[in-house]
Each structure stands twice: as structure tokens, then as C-alpha cells.
Amino acid sequence: MMKTLIEIAVPAMTIVLLTAVGLDLRAGDFVRVRRQPAVLLVGVIAPAILLPLLAFGLTLLFQTGPGVTAGVLLIAACPIGGISNAYVYLARASVALSVTLSGLSCLCASLTIPLIGKWLKLITGRPLDVAAPMRLQIAQLVVMLALPLTLGIWLRQRAPEFAARYHAALQRLAFMALTVVLFLVIAEDPNAFVGGLSKTVPIAVAFVLSSLIVGWMVAAPVTRNRGDRFTVAVEFGTRNVSIATAIAVTLLGRIDFARFATTYFLTEVPLMLLAVFAFRQVQALLSTQAVASVAKQ
């Protein structure tokens, strides 16, 4: 019964969430593709290359079992999570860049996820994909990811009044749906979830923090703007848990893989909020120093 509820709730949540992401994308956001091509390339392509390697290294370091290893690699393969926009907004960093990166990352997901899965299989020797042909997997991901995102973008273009009126409500609905799905994943086998926290929480913390650091470092050569660098760092560390859960449940039929995604989300939120607080404190300090320096002159 619980598994059936999860299998129904996960696709519904994904559709609502990605439609909301599409409604948030404006034509003006993509102007930054021309103005900041290097930042966008780093923000979209670098995570697809570096995060799977980072995840694989952490699984070796922590000596995780097959279930946790698959969960970590699955999180690393997924696109940027939409909640990254909220983190960036709270930090007063580059919100438009965050929206553009998360949108482009989701647009590319139906192609990048199967390719990353195949690549990880070659590296690790462990299959991350289902036994279906790649064409079928891509088709399933297009239906699950690309179509609702495209629907949101289309509604934004064709019915801007509708998008403006219902965008916030759809975002709240998507967050509520994600909360319900996470609860169902935990409730499916609470003993397994709680019993695995001692193994899943440390690697989740390590992955979030190391992803932030790597994102900040790779953004340094392409932008001197601290807001842009922090935004790229947040995009690295914020993975789309809903898509990871959808793939684990819908395509792989493995609820146990989704448990790490749940742990990751519950770990990510407080760590990201701490990063936001630290960034704002540093920005305020630098601003105060700059004002004092000008006053002395």
C-alpha cells in the first residue's frame, strides 16, 4: 500500500515542481547566457563532471554499502534543485543567475542523467541505470522532466497573468508535495531509515560541504563577483531531491535509493542556511570596511 502511494505521489510531485520551475523562467533570465557564458557553462557543465567524481570519492572514503553508494551517485547525477533560488535570495546573491542555472540544468537533465549513469557505471562497475535501453530511459525522463518544465515556460509566455496569479501557489503546492513524498519514503520503512542515519548523515554532510567548496573554487576563474561565486557554490550543493526520488522510485523501482535523497535534503537545508548566514555576515563586514576605507580617504 505504502509503495503504491509513493509510486503515485512521486510523478505527481515532479510534474508540479517542474511546472513551477518553468513558470519562474523569464525570457530576460536567459539574456545572461550571452552576457555571462563562462559562468553559465561552469554552473551547468562543471557539476555534471565534477560532482559524480566527488560522490564516487566520498563513497570510497566512507566505505558505503551498495544502497547508500547508489543513492549518493544518483544525487550527484541529478540537476540543480529549485530550492537553490530561495537560498540565493536569502543570501542577497545573484537570483537571476540562480534561476537561469537551475532552469538550464533541468532542461538538460533528460539527457545528462542517462549519460552520467552510463559514465558512472564504467567507472564504478556498478549499474546506476535500469535494465531498459537508453532510448527508453531518455523517453521516460523527457516525459517526467522536460515536458512539465516546458509546460511551465509555455504558460509563462502564453498566459502571463495566469502564471503571475498561480506561480506562488504552485510553488507552495510543490513544496507540500515534496514534504509528503519525503514522509512517505520514511514511513515505508522507518526502522531502515533511522537505522541508516549513522551512515547516511556523515556522507551527506561531507557531500554538501565539499560541493559548496568546489563550486566556489571553480567559479573563481570566471567571475570576481562574490555574489555570482556564492550562487554557483549553492547550485553545486543543492541537488534536485524530487528528481532523485522520482528516478529511484519510478525508473529504478528502489525506494531504498530514495532514502539517501531524503537524508540529503534534511541535511542540506540547515547547512545551506548556515552558509547563507555566513555569506551575509562576510558581505556586511566587507561593506563596512569599504565604507570605512572611503571615509578615511
Q: In the numeric block, which cell numbers belong to residue 34?
A: 550571452
Which DSSP state fits 239?
A: B
CATH of 2-281, one of 1.10.260.40, 1.20.1050.10, 3.30.1360.120, 1.20.1530.20: 1.20.1530.20
Structural domain spans, the chain: 2-281
Higher pLDDT, 1 or 54: 54
- Percent of the chain, pLDDT > 70? 76
Task: Give the separation between CA 98 and CA 110, rounded to whole angstroms.
Answer: 20
Higher pLDDT, 221 or 88: 221
Q: How confident is the model at residue 78 (pLDDT cuts 50, 70, 90)?
A: confident
Cell numbers for 22: 518553468
Mean pLDDT across the chain: 78
For Cα atoms 211, 213, 217, give the angle at the middle one, nearest 5 degrees.
115
- Give Cα 283 distance to the centre of its chain: 25
- C-alpha distances (whole Å) from 80 to each of 21, 158, 225, 231, 241 are 11, 26, 21, 12, 9
C-alpha cell at 282: 562576510
Set of cell numbers at residue 157: 509566455
The CA-based dihedral angle spanning residues 270, 214, 94, 163, taken in that order and rounded to the nearest 10 degrees: -70
How open is the CA angle 17-23-28, to the nearest 5 degrees?
135
For the chain, how long is the longest CA-to-CA vector? Answer: 71
**Whole-number pLDDT of residue 4:** 59
- The pLDDT tens digits of the residues spanning 18-65 come to 677 677 666 665 565 567 788 988 999 999 889 988 998 999 999 988
**Tens digit of pLDDT for each residue in 225-275?**
899 999 999 999 998 887 787 777 776 777 777 788 888 888 888 898 899
| Count of Cβ atoms closer than 10 Å to residue 9 Cβ | 20
φ/ψ (deg, to 5) at 239: -100, 155
Q: What is the pTM assigned to this prediction? A: 0.74
Which among 234, 259, 248, 261 is positioned nearest to 55, based on CA atoms?
261
